[in-house]
Structure 1
């Protein structure tokens, strides 16, 4: 009995310690997310009111390139730097990452670049958490790792209003097919604190409703099982996964092309800005600029419109993929996730028309499943769907996210993500290799040795950060 009491006291001390450590991080990150979301909304509204701002996108790109060349070379890797730092804490994440990514993302959106919010929130969370770790004496490397993960969870949970998904995402995104629970409590505390602080600042989130299959009977709160819809969800999930693979490879491939043909990092976003302007002129629509959540034009394709019949064109998902890939691969700042929501919802809208199934349901499935495939986080995305759309369709959410995860292959938007458990045994890479190494292996027959693993089950950082 004395041993059990001692263990209980140790548990209580552990919980209290991490509440005291993580709450300040969650509060700081939540406040930063609130400022970011407010600034992003102001920039978006200003761009809507002044469409000519798009003409300044190349100049804005040059300014962002100059800003990072002058002050941000050590944080240029963005989310990948944070993932590497979590795998093996080293020099920490510089605190200047937070203001740099906030300012540059708002500038990107102000002038019409197609980007998202998640990358900015995650980088602010990781940066602020790393700064907190440097202030706290006596933290072990595994403590720093958990605090960084809590910062990521706080950024994700605060910016999307999905704290549970944020906590799971911070654990699941590190290693494909493997997740440990050592940091679950700090991540959950940080994400909840961030989400609530955002709400206290008066920052809200877009609401979606998926009601097509719900029973009119108020006593029934679960969507009915429909074998046909489940089979079509499985098929759509595979399509969502292949779209995730296409998007990730498109971004990485265009990034390599920009680096090959535009040697100066200052002029890559200038070229990207010119291409975005040219594409906008060519298609005669501005639907694929910025976040794409809403638009003052009632006929525009947006994430919200994709939940309605006729709310997207057949190729809206492809256009958003191209606009976002050019924007981000050329050097503009922001995240990939909100554009992935757009891509998935638009593709779901198109597939619903082909299959003759509810548009709102398949838009919701695409919304989370394309994201799941691109980040290899099917559990976090299933939970996100429940938090955003309600739990009635959990079976369909989980099916679509799992199929997208499988069909996206061993690729993703975060090249520092490791392979914990391969999706299939084919391939000459080994568990523990990063997606960056997997891409190199595809071009070379030589396979690297798996990185060593630490006591938390995380692979150590590879020698190359490129």
Structure 2
């Protein structure tokens, strides 16, 4: 009888844990979803103002200086961005609540003056800092705080990008490649779904993903074409990551003063914009992605987007890297894919998914991203292209605090940080 009662108590504790996490994660999802929706509308407003008043980009140097001063006044000048979020999950390092308003305001300012940056990476910081604060207020222990931070990451990614399944797996996969935090599955899923529904109720995600109408069926030739494109996207993702890591080092070497660095970086982006003749490479570039998937080809766009983004973020502007990665992959895909015999739009979509995987080292998230953004047609070819990109991108990655546990080539332990 005592054995049975022990088993009953254990099962009751398990159901109690489920109820606890459903309550906590739904609360986190609603909170982060609300803030992420406001963040989206703020970026949309900033982009609209800049589109209507192109002269605003003249304030790029001043905008960079303002962001550095804002972080300095808040005692966060050495903030490590998304890398700190990864450390918070893996090693329980404390996230400060002030990260949320700082990344919120500074990313909107970056988009307003025309810096080249995304929003999802910033959203990870936003969601993680809010959820970490909520976890402290709920007096959760160290292990539960890690799950709460992942809940915030999933909710923010889902609310802002409209891909709830990708958001769940990405939050669990990106921290330590090769080790999934399965204890966070249900909490992250609940947070992601609530975050998505909250943002949708506030006017986001009224249309699903990106339209791709020329996907191919599984056959021998498309398999070879997708594999080759995946290999090319692996090289592209390495170039993107190396540029993102090299830019801040070069700025720091030649311009040690952060204020001067931000001003010069803003001036460089401004000069490049004037040389380009339009603002194709300023901001996140979601509209340009849609144009390219619909038929546009700009052969040099992938290189210019890398350059614009590296100069922007390396100088101290704030924002994410994910949409610039997708832009880069799409621009490269619609140029290289047709040379391999692939359809135009499908090439761009393959390039987006494969380059995202190569830069983040998250193959499962990338396959789900392809499904949620482009639909299920041709998913096997997306998976192949993504897998090849993952394997051949080596141990490079956007986030220097990301750990890669297992070799990509042999079943052996490597336990190293992304290069």
Return the TM-score normalized by structure 1. 0.86
Per the alignment, residue 291 of structure 2 pairs with: 305
Report deviation, 1:347: 0.8
- The counterpart of 1:104, out of the listed 103, 106, 110, is 106
Spell out the pairing of 1:298-337 with structure 2 (5 A cutoff). 302-309=288-295, 311-337=296-322
Aligned to 1:254: 247
Please list, as runs of the form range in 1=range in 2, the aligned pairs for 1:202-217 lying within 5 A after superposition. 202-204=203-205, 207-213=209-215
C-alpha deviation, 1:433, in angstroms:
2.8
Match 1:274 to one of 267, 277, 283 = 267
Q: How do 1:138-153 and structure 2 match up within 5 A?
A: 139-153=140-154
1:41-87, Cα deviation, whole Å (9 max, x unpaired): 11101000000001100000000011111114277101111111111
For 1:75 and 1:275, the matched residues in 2 are separated by: 23
- Whether contact under 8 Å (1:75, 1:81) holds in the other structure is no
- When residues 169 and 260 of structure 1 are mapped into structure 2, their CA distance, relative to the original with a 3 A threshold, is same
Aligned to 1:233: 226
2:238 aligns to what?
Answer: 245
Any residues of structure 2 matched to 1:116-131 within 5 Å, and which?
116-131=118-133
Residue from 19, 42, 54 that aligns with 2:57 = 54
State how far apart, in whole Å, the 2-side matches of 1:396 and 1:353 are: 15
Q: Which has the higher helix share?
A: 2
SS in structure 1 of the partner of residue 319 of structure 2: coil
Q: Which runs of 5+ in 1 are unaligned?
A: 214-222, 295-301, 440-466
Q: What is the deviation of 1:351?
A: 1.5
Give structure 1 regions of 4+ aligned residues with deviation exceeding 6 angstroms.
none
Match of 1:459 in 2: none
Q: How far is 1:390 from its partner? A: 0.9
Residue-by-residue CA offset, 1:149-185 (whole Å, 9 max, x unaligned): 1111111111101111101001110112332311111
Alignment of 1:247-396 (within 5 A): 247-294=240-287, 302-309=288-295, 311-396=296-381
Partners of 1:283 and 1:124 in 2: CA distance: 32
> What is the aligned residue count?
415
Deviations 1:337-393 (A, max 9, x none): 011111111111002221222111111111121111111111001101111111122
Q: Where do 5+ consecutive residues of structure 2 fail to align? A: none
CA distance in 2, matches of 1:75, 1:226: 51
Q: Is contact 1:176-1:422 (8 Å) kept?
A: no
CA deviation after TM superposition for structure 1 residue 13, in Å: 1.4
Q: CA deviation at 1:308?
A: 2.6
Show the counterpart of 2:199. 198
Indicate the residue corresponding to 1:464 in structure 2.
none
Q: Which residue of 2 aligns with 1:34?
A: 37
Q: Closer, same or farther in 2 for the Cα pair 1:234/1:77, shift >3 Å? A: same
Residues 1:205 and 1:275: Cα distance change in structure 2 (over 3 Å): farther
Provide the rounded CA distance (Å) in 2 between the counterparts of 1:157 and 1:33: 9
Q: CA RMSD in A?
A: 1.8
- Matched position secondary structure for 2:397: coil
Q: TM-score, normalised by structure 2?
A: 0.95
| Other structure's SS at 1:432 match | strand
Is 2:47 the counterpart of 1:44?
Answer: yes
2:24 paired residue number? 21
Q: Paired residue for 1:461? A: none
Distance in 1 between residues matched to 2:77 and 2:243, nearest whole Å: 25
Deviation per CA, 1:423-464: give whole Å up to 9, x if none: 2469xx9733322xxx5xxxxxxxxxxxxxxxxxxxxxxxxx
Distance in 1 of aligned mates of 2:413 and 2:163 = 33
State the distance in 1 between where 2:266 and 2:310 align: 12
Q: SS at 1:419's partner residue?
A: strand
Aligned to 1:167: 168
Query: Matched residues in 2 for 1:74 and 1:60: separation?
Result: 16
Q: Secondary structure at the match of 1:420?
A: strand
Q: How does 1:424-435 map to 2 (within 5 A)?
A: 424=409, 431-435=414-418
In the TM superposition, residue 103 of structure 1 has moved relative to its aligned partner by 0.4
Q: Would you say 1:187 and 2:172 are equivalent positions?
A: no
Is 1:67 the equivalent of 2:53?
no
